[in-house]
Structure 1
Amino acid sequence: MNSPDRATRKRAALTDYEALREHRPELFVNPSGAAFEILLDRADQDRAADAMSRVAVAAGLPESVGHIGVVYRDAYFCLVRDAVRFTNGQLGTYIRIVPASVSGGAAVLPLLADGRVVLLRHFRHASRHWHWEIPRGFGGPGEDGAGTAARELQEELGVHVTDFTYLGPLSPDTGLRAGVDHLYLAHLGTAELADEPSQDARAEGIDAYRAVTQGELRTMVADGEISDAYTLSAYALAMAQGVLKADMG
């Protein structure tokens, strides 16, 4: 039997879920032929949640693993567990990450005046490793993709740019994350970088800049020195659109 606190959390998750549905209805569409149908009827939701709770308990996991709704939220994203019907008719749950920003985040491929590409050496908590990557970040309230790209360049590189070329959208993890982010290219209008990151950039985990020729960037990609999905995607789009040239430098 649920404790009062657990029952309260369960109701709160469902209440937040309904609010999210009202605010972001596009996230709950069931297109024709969808492999996983989101269940919006409360009785169906209860049956799916009960089925998954039983599976969880049998596996030694908390009963709350089956609860549906918004099960976690912070300033950047929420974690949503939907009740779903699979193509074989079985009921269950499926979890996804929903960014707080409706417009998504942004990443920007920065080019110096001589055509070199600017990379940041960034420590990432999730991987526990340093990565060579381009500036990127979550979208802010009321901010579009270009606005996010401009802010990230200012915060991470210390340069002010307002003229961007849109490279295209990116779905960073179609198996887990809802929505898309946006990729841009920016001409910095300068031939040099600052000697080292600012204190604010260092606090974000950035400890070095590197300007590489387009040929050197291709070699880094081919050799596996770059594993960041945003950087690889921006590189692929820029190459496909003819913005970058593999033989330059």
Structure 2
Amino acid sequence: MNSTPEAAYTHLRRTQPNLFNTPPGDGAISIVRGPLAEGRVVHHDQWWTLLQDPVVFPDGQHGHYLRMIPSQPELGTAVLPLISGKVVLIEHFRHATRTWHWEIPRGGGTAGLSEKDNAAKELEEELGATATELVELGTLHPDTGILAQPVALFAARINEVGEVARGEAIRRARTVMFAEAEEMAGSDAITDAFTITALFRARRAGLAQ
């Protein structure tokens, strides 16, 4: 990125203008344009870029809004593993919440890989499993309040589970009936948005047994 937060922001506006579009019509939050816009790149690493956008609210008030964009243009993926119709969940420790979560494998976009290839890679890395079939389940915006890019959802048929990625704070895998996974989502045993949405989409796609 450029040497100052303001220069980095200006570079992004010039090279990726689609990130700064405002849809036509009334009622949207607009991003201020011009040399006095005071936009900044607050943080940047290989995974995430945090922007502070100068904005105008629908009532005319000016302010700033934070949002995160991925540093790679490729979409992240989340993949629901299925063995004979049963759901495979991983127990993953998450730093942000400082606790363990039952969820499905997922990861950020990888340069040079398609969304399907990235989903297959995440399965192999986190679950030690190989997909025999990948089914597209659409996209998900996991947090529209701050995350700019959607994530591609998949279901994957697999034959077996291998070694989980303990180095990524995954301590075990668990195979449950599809209905039990839905019950876990309904009772707060699963709170991960990717997993809950993938279960919902997979049932609508006829993959539940």
TM-score (norm 2): 0.93
Deviations 1:162-190 (A, max 9, x none): 631100100011011101110001111x1
The alignment yields a C-alpha RMSD, in angstroms, of: 1.7
Q: Distance in 2 between matches of 1:80 and 1:147?
A: 29
Q: CA deviation at 1:116?
A: 1.1
Q: Distance in 1 between matches of 2:10 and 2:107?
A: 28
Deviations 1:39-89 (A, max 9, x none): 12123x15xxxxxxxxxxxxxxxxxxxxx3111101101000011111121
Higher helix residue share: 1
Partner residue, 2:108: 138
Q: Distance in 1 between matches of 2:29 and 2:182?
A: 39
Q: Which has the larger radius of gyration?
A: 1
Q: How does 1:232-247 map to 2 (within 5 A)?
A: 232-244=196-208
Higher strand residue share: 2
1:28 aligns with 2:20: yes
SS at match of 1:238: helix
Q: CA deviation at 1:225?
A: 0.6
Query: Does the 8 Å contact 1:103/1:181 carry over to 2?
Result: no
- Size of the alignment, in residue pairs? 207
Q: CA deviation at 1:151?
A: 0.8
Q: Quote the sequence identity (%).
A: 41
Q: How does 1:153-168 map to 2 (within 5 A)?
A: 153-161=123-131, 163-168=133-138
Counterpart of 1:93 (choices 25, 48, 64) is: 64
Q: Distance in 2 between matches of 1:218 and 1:233?
A: 10
Partner residue, 1:117: 87
Q: CA deviation at 1:218?
A: 2.0
SS at match of 1:233: helix
Query: Does the 8 Å contact 2:22/2:28 carry over to 1?
Result: no
TM-score (norm 1): 0.78
Query: Does the 8 Å contact 1:101/1:139 carry over to 2?
Result: yes
Q: CA deviation at 1:11?
A: 7.1
Q: Distance in 2 between matches of 1:130 and 1:110?
A: 19
Greater than 6 Å deviation, 4+ residue runs: none
Q: How does 1:55-204 map to 2 (within 5 A)?
A: 68-112=39-83, 114-161=84-131, 163-188=133-158, 190=159, 192-194=160-162, 197=164, 201-204=165-168
Stretches of structure 1 that go unaligned for 5 or more consecutive residues are 1-9, 47-67
Q: Distance in 2 between matches of 1:143 and 1:22?
A: 26
Partner residue, 1:49: none
